[in-house]
Amino acid sequence: LFTLFGGAAIFLYGMKLMGDGLEKTAGKRMQKIIEAVTSNRLKAVLVGAAVTAIIQSSGATTVMVVGFVNAGIMSLTQAVGVIMGANIGTTVTAQIIRLGDISASAWYFNLLRPNTLAPVVVALGVGLIMFSKKKKLNNIGEILAGFGLLFMGMGTMEEAVKGLRDLPQFKEMFMAFSNPVLGVLIGAVVTAVIQSSSASVGILQAAASTGLVSFSAAVPIILGQNIGTCVVALLSSIGASKNAKKAAMIHLFFNIIGTIIFLSAIYIYQYTIGFSFWNAPVNKGIIADFHTLFNIVNTIILFPFAEVLVKMAHLAIRGKERVKVQKTLDERFISTPSVAVSQTVKEVVRMGEVAKLNVCLSIQSILDKNVSAIGKIEDNEDIIDEMETEITQYLVKIADEPLNKEENKLVSALFNVITDIERIGDHATNLAEIAEYITHNDIEFSQIAREELVTITNAVKEIVGMTMTSLEKQDAKLAMRIQPCEDVIDLLKETLRMRHIDRLSQQKCSLKAGVIFLDIINNLERIGDHCSNIGVAIEQLKSPSSNFDVHQYLRNVHINKTPEYEKMYAEYEKKYSLT
């Protein structure tokens, strides 16, 4: 019995290791696949199948779906298709395991059997993990080691159950499982406990090597295993939105309805016509094929009734969703780093858009001497501060997960970017406070001072907009335009400062207005500085070099000015020239 548990542990670890390696290797592509889900339900089914085949767990895919629904990114109708596809994708593991039954007379063909190759593949995989410095090869090593451990665990379980084959209790147990209710129940319970239908089907395939698992016992157990896997999503929906709970219920209803349809059809046929192989023992291949057949046929049957499943979920989880702020960062995504990083980028971009709005509102408040937007600016500043805290905490959790080289680089960059966005928000709030002060104290600027403010504020609005667009698109080419624009803003600030000092000395401007004018241009210039920092972060992110030196990069920009830089600088200098 201990050997059986040990084999199951090796099997489960191998499956996880292989899934992790595949997920890291295909992380970016998987992220794009998930984001490609549209109202096209067939496409959603294909997405669900593809993602689950990669991460080797329908439960994990459904947990992601629950997270997407909870974040408002995916509708329940879209979720149905992905859930159906996830059930199909999870059967890939069983089909891989059946390769262990490959046999042939030729010795060289038998050398290729997974059971024979497993130790060699594990050794090769471990070698790549331990001795390769390349992340891509490390990921391939995880896939190979996981694949080998999967079959080594299966072999250990098979050897363990062979020792139980002659026990009368073991035979009686599988005879009892021919009872459909008991079979479904045991399949569901075991799967719920280990939280993986792929693993529980694998254990059944190992038990089948004894020759004691009949078709009549395997059918209800496999159907029960598909129900048991729903527990993972149901547990993840606790504390989530009503729609997220409904997504988990759709998964449960899909498998329960499919089980009822299949059991009814199979037992009606058995008691009217009869299967010739009803009491015949099954092998790994038959178990894998029935598992796949059930999920494909169930999807075909229920595909046209997706809206019915949604309505059933609405009936099971009553009440409308409360309107609340969209929560893009969901804890459920953490276990799939590629998705978590993608969602974090979206949230950082959203934070940047709020900061950009505040900059524009505060500038307009100063130019119009109008305080009507001050309340909105203050509310937005609270949102920016809250988002910075949430994103930072989320990034810390992501950083603890196994990340590929690109994801690690992006996470590091985002830590710096959110700090700069928060500071942009702070300077926008400073400008709003200045707007409030000049409005309440009826402070007037001279006509020329107003014109100068219009020029520099236009430049700042452009650089902020350009920065947030390059961040959203991760566009290094657009980010290259930030630095020359920022240098022009620096020049503007210094020129305006000198001009204003001259006006003060000539008493063309009041001392109070003069101090405030300088305060305004200082805040505007600081906004440009933080935009420059974000631009450099984007350049660093897109640089092929792993040793990107920020200070060296800035020195090269300012000292070894390229013709391209000179051209862009001249363009902005002309655009924001002072009269």
DSSP assignments along 284-339, one per residue: HHHHHHHHHHHHHHHHHHHGGGHHHHHHHHHHHS-SPPPP-------GGGTTSHHH
- The mean-pLDDT minimum among 150-154, 255-259, 401-405, 424-428 falls in 150-154
For the chain, the domains span 2-316, 337-575
Is the Cβ–Cβ distance between 350 and 387 less than 8 Å? yes
What is the share, in percent, of the chain residues with pLDDT greater than 70? 85
The rounded distance, in Å, linking the Cα atoms of 406 and 428 is 32
- Nearest CA to 49 out of 38, 35, 34 is that of 34
Out of 81-95, 196-210, 538-552, give the one with best mean pLDDT.
81-95
Taking residues 442-450, report their average pLDDT: 86
Number of CB atoms found within 10 A of residue 95's CB: 15
Q: What mean pLDDT is predicted for residues 489-504?
A: 89
- Alpha carbon 34 to its chain's center: 9
Structure confidence at residue 323 (pLDDT): 38
- Distance, in Å, from the CA atom of 288 to the CA atom of 94, rounded to the nearest integer, reads 5
pLDDT at residue number 109: 47
- State the DSSP code for 100: G
CATH architecture of the domain formed by 337-575: Up-down Bundle (1.20)
pLDDT digits (tens, 9 = 90+) for 279-304: 898 888 899 999 999 999 999 999 99
Considering only residues 309 and 96, tell me which one the structure prediction assigns the higher pLDDT.
309
Q: What pLDDT score was predicted for residue 401?
A: 84
What's the pLDDT score for residue 171?
Answer: 66
CB atoms within 10 A of CB 123: 13
Segment 133-142, tens digit of pLDDT: 777 788 888 8
- When pLDDT is cut at 50, 70 and 90, the band that residue 22 belongs to is low
Mean pLDDT to the nearest integer, 523-527: 95
Q: What pLDDT was estimated at residue 72? A: 64
Q: Which are the contacts of 211, defined by CB distance < 8 A and separation ≥ 6?
A: 165, 281
The share of the chain scoring above pLDDT 90, in percent, equals 30
Report the distance separating Cα 110 and Cα 535, nearest Å: 58
Instruction: Classify residue 269 as left (phi > 0), alpha (psi -120 to 50) or beta.
Output: alpha
By three-state DSSP, how is residue 281 classified? strand
| Residue 418 pLDDT > 80 | yes
pTM of this structure = 0.62
pLDDT average, residue stretch 241-270: 89
Least confident residue range of 169-173, 222-226, 569-573: 169-173
pLDDT-derived band at 211 (thresholds 50, 70, 90) equals confident
d(CA 15, CA 113): 18
Residues 555-577: what's their mean pLDDT? Answer: 85
Separation of alpha carbons 362 and 526, rounded Å? 15
User: pLDDT digit string (tens) for 27-82?
Assistant: 555 555 655 555 578 888 888 888 777 766 676 677 777 777 776 667 788 888 88
Query: Comparing 101 with 181, which gets the higher pLDDT?
Result: 181
What's the rounded Cα separation, in Å, for the pair 219 and 180?
A: 8
Supply the mean pLDDT for the chain: 82
**Three-state SS string across 512-558, please?**
HHHHHHHHHHHHHHHHHHHHHHHHHHHHHHHCCCCCCCHHHHHHHHH
Task: Write down the number of H helices and E strands in the chain.
Answer: 26, 0
* pLDDT for 100: 65
Pair of tokens at residue 66: 């629950």
> Does 549 have pLDDT greater than 90?
no
Q: Which of 214-218, 301-305, 328-332, 382-386 has the lowest mean pLDDT?
A: 328-332
Which residue has tokens 């119009």?
Answer: 368
Ranges of H-type helices in 195-214: 197-208
pLDDT for 349 equals 92
Both tokens assigned to 456: 């520099």
**C-beta contacts of 562-567 below 8 A and 24+ residues apart:** 564/480, 565/480, 565/483, 565/484
Q: 178 Cβ partners below 8 Å, 6+ apart?
A: 214, 216, 217, 220
Q: What is the pLDDT of residues 106-162, one digit of tens each?
A: 444 455 555 667 788 888 888 888 887 777 788 888 878 887 787 777 677 767 766
The pLDDT of residue 559: 73
Least confident of 7-16, 26-35, 391-400, 543-552: 26-35
Please provide the DSSP assignment of 59-99 as one string.
HHHHHHHHHHHHTTSS-HHHHHHHHHHHHHHTTHHHHHHGG
Q: Which of 193-207, 249-263, 409-423 has the lowest mean pLDDT?
A: 193-207
With a cut of 70, say whether residue 378 has pLDDT above it: yes
Question: Which residues are CB-contacts of 264 (< 8 A; sequence separation ≥ 6)?
Answer: none
Residue 141's pLDDT is what? 86
**How far apart (Å, rounded) are the C-alpha atoms in residues 359 and 364?**
9
pLDDT band at 335 (very low <50, low <70, confident <90, very high): confident
The answer to whether the beta carbons of residues 181 and 188 sit under 8 Å apart is no
Secondary structure of residue 186 in the 3-state scheme: helix
The answer to whether residue 479 scores a pLDDT higher than 50 is yes
String of DSSP letters for 242-272: HHHHHHHHHHHHHHHHHHHHHHHHHHHHHHH
Q: Which long-range contacts (CB under 8 A, 24 or more apart) does 2-6 make?
A: 3/156, 3/159, 3/160, 3/163, 4/156, 4/157, 4/160, 4/161, 4/164, 6/156, 6/160
- CA-nearest of 86, 79, 77, 80 to 55 is 86
With a CB cutoff of 8 Å and minimum separation 6, the contacts of 396 are none
| Contact of 57 with 90, CB cutoff 8 Å | yes
What's the N-to-C CA distance of the chain in angstroms? 89
Per DSSP, 423 falls in state: H
Structure confidence at residue 470 as a pLDDT band (50, 70, 90): very high
Does residue 224 contact residue 49 with C-beta atoms inside 8 Å?
A: no
